[in-house]
Amino acid sequence: MTDAWTRPGSHLRHVRPSALFLALIVVCIASGASAWNGSGDQRIAVFLFVMSAWLISLCLHEFMHAFVALRAGDTTVIGKGYLTLDPIKYSDPLFTFILPTIFVLMGGIPLSGGAVYIDRGRIRSRAQHSWVSAAGPLTNVAIAAVCGLLLNTSLFNSAGAPFYAAFAFFTQLQVIAAVLNLLPVPGLDGYGIIEPWLSYDFRRAIAPYAQFGPLLLFALLFTPEINRWFFDQVDHITDAMNIPPGWTSLGYHLFRFWK
């Protein structure tokens, strides 16, 4: 084993999207087309579009953790099925998909949890450990950037208002997910990025409490003052991306059709 990255092309043969992941793509396209054309119940179309797109992004987030780990030397991710983008294969469906989905439904806070177990002993470089942790939130950054660019082109000129609003809201969710996951909170990817560079004694002291970090953060985000401050920072980012807040707000309200 060496500290050098292996060539990505040599591992692409292990990437086989699962039937469940492909089904999510079908739902996303079908519901997006309905919102675009204004056919059917628009609130249901927006809900299905945003939720399926969000679940797809979760799969991609976790896939990138695994793929970067594979490049760094952890071949165990192949046998674990992490490269199939199948949400059922991920290690903790409760913390990775069920709770984050509930969080999004409750308040539009896309807080994801750990889903892939990386054999850290197979990764020898601290920089590579950091990149494995960074790969997930950087995926959200990339998705948000692409969506933001698309929103500022003429591509959606013929789209119905519900689709544009849903797409703007989904883009905002990606921004929120990226910001949250990059926070240096134990249990989140941001902490995983800096953890290899911390002292052994500090890491050992924090380890027993790391699993509670995301839940504590979620509780804090429901504190009115902290929630207001956090979303003000998100608004600064989306404003810089030239995403009108009125559209993200409309997408949020259409998404929560039961309210």
- 225 part of the active site: no
Sequence-distant (6+) residues with CB within 8 A of 115 are 62, 65, 90, 91, 92, 93, 95, 96, 97
Q: What is the DSSP string of the chain?
A: --SSPPPGGGGGGG----HHHHHHHHHHHHHHHHHHHT-S-HHHHHHHHHHHHHHHHHHHHHHHHHHHHHHHT-THHHHTTGGGT-GGGSS-HIIIIIHHHHHHHHHS-----------GGG---HHHHHHHHHHHHHHHHHHHHHHHHHHTSGGGTTS-HHHHHHHHHHHHHHHHHHHHHTS--TTSHHHHHHGGGS-HHHHHHHGGGGGGHHHHHHHHHTSHHHHHHHHHHHHHHHHHTT--HHHHHHHHHHH-TT-
Annotated catalytic residue within 36, 53, 56, 62: 62
Sequence-distant (6+) residues with CB within 8 A of 106 are none
Positions marked catalytic: 62
